[in-house]
Amino acid sequence: MNTLKVALAQISPVWFNKEKTFLKIAGKISEAAKNHCELVVFGEALVPGYPFWIALTDGAEWNSKLQKEMHAHYIRNAVNIEEGELDVICNLAKESKIAIYLGIIERAKNRGGHSLYASLVYINQQGEIKSVHRKLQPTYDERLTWSPGDGNGLQVHPLKKFTVGGLNCWENWMPLPRTALYGLGEDLHVAVWPGSDHNTRDITRFIALESRSFVVSVSGLMRIEDFPADTPHLDQIIAKAPKILANGGSCIAGPDGNWIVAPLINTEALIIETLDFNRVLEERQNFDPVGHYSRPDVTKLILNRQRQSILEISKE
């Protein structure tokens, strides 16, 4: 019970094709299960992919036909959880007895079904969806296609001796959401990213040092050849695109802030490592940010877990 075998799935999506991306994810889950992994993590927005088109095609242009068509294509390939579109992944988790963190673009039914959220889904080893964390604040040009989330998914989950929690991309830089997870007992922090070691190489070790927890950062990949030929407006998207849009950078830091796995770039891989819970206990000896080294009489955090919706239906 003291150890946990984790897999970091650093892969590219089949961009904006959720069915084919789900097939690729299923293959990595099966591979992780064959290697007796107990948790597998995938990058941010992996299904159906990160909205790279915005920065490459003047995404802020008002009333642009291209932007409208790309956004509609994105919505069609987003994931509707209530319609059972994660059922295959949940069944795989149950069959393989493996927990999963998966980054998706969620087409949220309780918000009308037409707005999009960058969501991090946790599925336990019994195949049950236990939390869906909608990214609190889309970053910069992401706001042109993603909506701001809420605190409902700021939750942690038991996994053997560990307590796991996770955040999306730059919200890992937000001190208060991090602290909320620490306060809930997190000692294995999952950070998911669309890709690139310039994101993961500093914050991964920083969170580990701050929290005295294991930190698993998982990124996607995206290269020119990963854009399918049938992508709408492909010629305009790739005209200004670099050869590598996201280079990976998945990594693991231990509770002392040192690398267990340094950032891996420019390759698809299933990174497998066994984590020893005792290392958390060792590093909490001299610092615990929400325990013996906290002062709740001086500073305290309030967490609102209410799921936001425009509609509240009263019972008859």
Give the pLDDT confidence of 284-309 residue by residue, as tens digits: 999 999 999 999 999 999 999 999 99
What pLDDT is stored for residue 166 in this prediction? Answer: 98
Determine the 3-state secondary structure of 52 from DSSP: coil
What pLDDT is stored for residue 56 in this prediction? Answer: 96
296: alpha, beta or left? (left if phi > 0; alpha if psi -120 to 50): alpha
Half-sphere exposure of 186 (CA within 13 A, CB side): 27
What pLDDT is stored for residue 313 in this prediction? Answer: 87
pLDDT band at 106 (very low <50, low <70, confident <90, very high): very high
pLDDT tens profile 167-180: 999 999 999 999 99
pLDDT at 93 over 90: yes
In a domain, 312, yes or no: no
pLDDT at 315 over 90: no
Determine what percent of the chain is predicted with pLDDT higher than 90: 97
pLDDT band at 314 (very low <50, low <70, confident <90, very high): confident
In a domain, 55, yes or no: yes
CA distance 277 to 139: 33
Which H or E element spans position 25?
A: helix 18-34
- CA torsion sign for 18, 24, 29, 32 is negative
DSSP-assigned states of every residue in 62-123: TT-HHHHHHHHHHHHTSB-GGGTTTHHHHHHHHHHT-EEEEEEEEE-GGGTSSSEEEEEEEE
Count of residues in the chain = 316
In a domain, 90, yes or no: yes
In a domain, 94, yes or no: yes
In a domain, 272, yes or no: yes
C-alpha to C-alpha distances, 178 to 102, 173, 187, 203, 224, nearest whole angstrom: 19, 8, 11, 12, 34
In a domain, 9, yes or no: yes
Residue type, 222: M
**Domain span including residue 244:** 3-283
CA-closest candidate to residue 214, choices 201, 205, 223: 205
In a domain, 268, yes or no: yes
pLDDT at 162 over 80: yes
Give the Cβ contact number of residue 182 at 10 Å: 24
In a domain, 310, yes or no: no
Total domain count for the chain? 1
Question: Domain with 163 in it: what CATH number?
Answer: 3.60.110.10
CA distance 132 to 120: 6
Residue type, 166: G
Residue 192: CB partners within 8 Å, gap ≥ 6? Answer: 41, 42, 43, 44, 101, 103, 120, 166, 167, 168, 169, 217, 218, 219
Determine what percent of the chain is predicted with pLDDT higher than 70: 100
Q: What is the pTM of this model?
A: 0.96
pLDDT at 316 over 80: no
